[in-house]
Chain A
Amino acid sequence: MSDDTTTERARPEAIKAVPVRHPGRWIALAVIAVLAAMFLHLLLTNDRFRWSFIFLEYQEGKRGVMFTEPVLEGLRGTIMLTISSMAIGIALGIVIAIMRLSPNKILSSVAFLYTWFFRAVPRLVLALLFGNLNILWERIGFGLPFGTQIGKLFGLDNFDGQFYSIKASDLIAGFVAGMLALALSEAAYMAEIVRAGIQSIDTGQAEAAVALGMSRGQVLRRIVLPQAMRVIVPPTGNEIIAMVKDTSLVAYVPVTFELWFQLTQVSARTFVVLPVIVAALIWYLILCTVLMIAQYFVERHFSKGYGATAKAKQRLRDIQVEQGGRITGEVP
């Protein structure tokens, strides 16, 4: 019946007004256009960029420097380093965050000390430290803790209590050292992010879940973490993007299996500097663009049940039902 009252009255003429002028906007637009043109002009006409060196052919019969075998290999290394150190960093970060929030004082202090240490030490220093850790031990393996000392106690001189061991320089050299340095440092930052996420969730949520008989693990996995993800994902995206770039630090471990190291090698061989830097820049841009697109979809997944879009969609559906399907349309 409310329908009738709205349709009976004649609809007034649509408003046709002269819009407000914004001269400031036009001036800004002109300035930006000039700057953009200057930049493009620089890119296209300054042949010191040596675009063909970057894209097409950097030496007789070879591909552009971006696509040569060692550089692509380095790119693969950078991606693997990013994925593995972030995977370890996130997993360990969650564990440390949970320890930090535990009522057990010992667990939470250990977690606090961990984040304190690894946030205080610069990643570059950490990478160098891990690259040289094998100076401390000759062999690393699984076995009894304090095996040698226990052996001495029983009068055994060559007993070391090791079940399995390998040379330290084989285990923590190069890639693994770099990965560990990045992963352990990342875990400290991720722990803080996850903790903030968990603490942002109303305690009533965990309480309601516990009252339904859910275990602490279930509450965390099913109720708290999925909601905390909304808070955790955006800064984690930042962290991953920062990590892509920080992988270049492990060139000092040294790790040869990495993009920046490989490109600087090309520089050293060919004495070409700027185009190589530009090539690196382009690769990092591409990697981070892909990550940002991925982040968009992940964020959208974890915002289920929140936000304007979900509500708008539901409103539209309700209106469509009320109007008997006469209104159609999509919410962007």
Chain B
Amino acid sequence: MTGEMVRADNVHKSFGSLEVLKGIDLVVKPGEVCCVLGPSGSGKSTFLRCINHLEKINAGRIFVDGELVGYRERGGKLHEMGEKDVAKQRRSIGMVFQRFNLFPHMTVLDNVMEAPCRVKRESKAEVRDRAVGLLERVGLGSKVGNYPGQLSGGQQQRVAIARALAMRPKLMLFDEPTSALDPELVGEVLDTMKDLAADGMTMVVVTHEIGFAREVGDNLIFMDGGVVVEQGPPRDVITNPQHERTRAFLSKVL
């Protein structure tokens, strides 16, 4: 609508007396891949979770596709959204977690079909076709009947991606999707994500995979201590960081 898929304006977030986000500004345009880099505890996950209102922010504004997240502004006053409306906003935002969080009591196919069937109440036959298609696309067409516990970490993470895609999101959030994986399994998940980016999906990716950020990212932000220290095209930030903290961090990861 507005030419901005995500817009964060001066976002603050505290847990009790601990201020984790201290004024984050960010714009992600449709079709862009924004990579988020930063040391542990810098608030990357927290920021990502604010975008789909898993965490309530204390100050500032977050818009997704032009719509204020979690609140409604009426007559200059903010009104908290009810559970239903928040859920509605979340439908169009897919999220992939570091530890997959697949539903272990459901088969792979049921994991993917659950939300479209229960949340959107789409017809089962239609959802099944789409789910099988998505699983084939992530290379797991032969595993539809398995339970998550029977899959490798990389396969589980690809199912998690398919599960999020089944809701036809306009934005995908990835929180260190490959950090819990054995090194030889990282590639298959990154390949899936590259495919997705090539298809024009808007993505915000928290990652330590510098190679991925350089190759796929349109924009890279480096966070430390709850603020965005530096941002720009990944190539520039990685090869020629302007700030001392960015340099120190990159020298450790590269």
Whether the pair B83, A215 counts as a contact (CB closer than 8 A) is: yes
Of B99, B102, B115, the residue contacting A213 (CB under 8 A) is B115
- The CA of A216 and the CA of B149, in the complex, are separated in Å by 25
Q: A244 to chain B: closest CB distance in Å?
A: 29
Residues of B within 8 A of A306 (CB): 104-105, 147, 149
* Majority SS at the chain A contact face: helix
Residues of A within 8 A of B160 (CB): 208
Whether the pair B118, A305 counts as a contact (CB closer than 8 A) is: no
Residue of B nearest to A321 (CB): B142
Whether the pair B54, A226 counts as a contact (CB closer than 8 A) is: no
Whether the pair B150, A212 counts as a contact (CB closer than 8 A) is: no
- The CA of A208 and the CA of B148, in the complex, are separated in Å by 14
- Chain B positions 148 through 159: 1 when the CB is less than 8 Å from some CB of chain A, otherwise 0: 111000000000
Determine whether A210 belongs to the interface, using a CB cutoff of 8 Å to chain B: yes
Determine whether B81 belongs to the interface, using a CB cutoff of 8 Å to chain A: no
Give the size range of B's interface with the partner: 20 to 34
Give the size range of A's interface with the partner: 20 to 34
Q: B181 to chain A: closest CB distance in Å?
A: 16
Residues of A within 8 A of B94 (CB): 211
Determine whether B163 belongs to the interface, using a CB cutoff of 8 Å to chain A: yes
Whether the pair A210, B97 counts as a contact (CB closer than 8 A) is: no
Whether the pair B99, A211 counts as a contact (CB closer than 8 A) is: no
Of B83, B107, B164, the residue contacting A212 (CB under 8 A) is B164
Q: A254 to chain B: closest CB distance in Å?
A: 45
Residues of A within 8 A of B163 (CB): 212
Residues of B within 8 A of A139 (CB): none
Determine whether A223 belongs to the interface, using a CB cutoff of 8 Å to chain B: yes
Residues of A within 8 A of B83 (CB): 215-216
Residues A227 and B118 in contact in the complex (CB < 8 Å), given A207-B54, A310-B149: no
Residues of A within 8 A of B147 (CB): 304-306, 310, 314
Whether the pair B87, A215 counts as a contact (CB closer than 8 A) is: yes
Determine whether A222 belongs to the interface, using a CB cutoff of 8 Å to chain B: yes
Residues A311 and B150 in contact in the complex (CB < 8 Å), given A208-B97, A212-B119, A223-B103: yes
- The CA of A211 and the CA of B115, in the complex, are separated in Å by 10
- The CA of A211 and the CA of B52, in the complex, are separated in Å by 7
Residue of B nearest to A214 (CB): B119
Whether the pair A305, B104 counts as a contact (CB closer than 8 A) is: yes
Determine whether A218 belongs to the interface, using a CB cutoff of 8 Å to chain B: yes
- Chain A positions 197 through 216: 1 when the CB is less than 8 Å from some CB of chain B, otherwise 0: 00000101101111111111
Interface residues of A in 159-215 (CB under 8 A from B): 202, 204-205, 207-215
Residues of A within 8 A of B101 (CB): 202, 204-205, 207-208
- The CA of A329 and the CA of B15, in the complex, are separated in Å by 56
Whether the pair B97, A314 counts as a contact (CB closer than 8 A) is: no
Q: A201 to chain B: closest CB distance in Å?
A: 10
- The CA of A306 and the CA of B102, in the complex, are separated in Å by 13
Residues of B within 8 A of A304 (CB): 105, 147
Determine whether B252 belongs to the interface, using a CB cutoff of 8 Å to chain A: no
Residue of B nearest to A226 (CB): B105
Residue of B nearest to A314 (CB): B150
Residues of B within 8 A of A210 (CB): 54, 87, 90
- The CA of A216 and the CA of B87, in the complex, are separated in Å by 9
Whether the pair A218, B118 counts as a contact (CB closer than 8 A) is: yes
- The CA of A216 and the CA of B90, in the complex, are separated in Å by 13
Residues of A within 8 A of B93 (CB): 211
Chain B residues at the A interface, C-beta cutoff of 8 Å: 52, 54, 83-84, 87-88, 90-91, 93-95, 97, 99, 101-107, 114-115, 118-120, 146-150, 160, 163-164, 167
The 7 closest A-B pairs by CB, nearest first: A305-B147, A208-B101, A213-B91, A212-B115, A204-B101, A211-B95, A213-B90
11 contacts across the A-B interface (CB closer than 8 A): A210-B54, A211-B93, A212-B90, A213-B90, A305-B105, A305-B147, A305-B149, A310-B149, A311-B149, A314-B146, A314-B147
Taking A207-B54, A208-B95, A305-B105 as given, write out 14 further A-B residue pairs in contact, using a Cβ cutoff of 8 Å, ordered by the A residue number. A204-B101, A208-B101, A208-B160, A210-B87, A211-B94, A212-B91, A212-B114, A213-B91, A218-B118, A227-B103, A302-B105, A305-B147, A306-B105, A310-B149
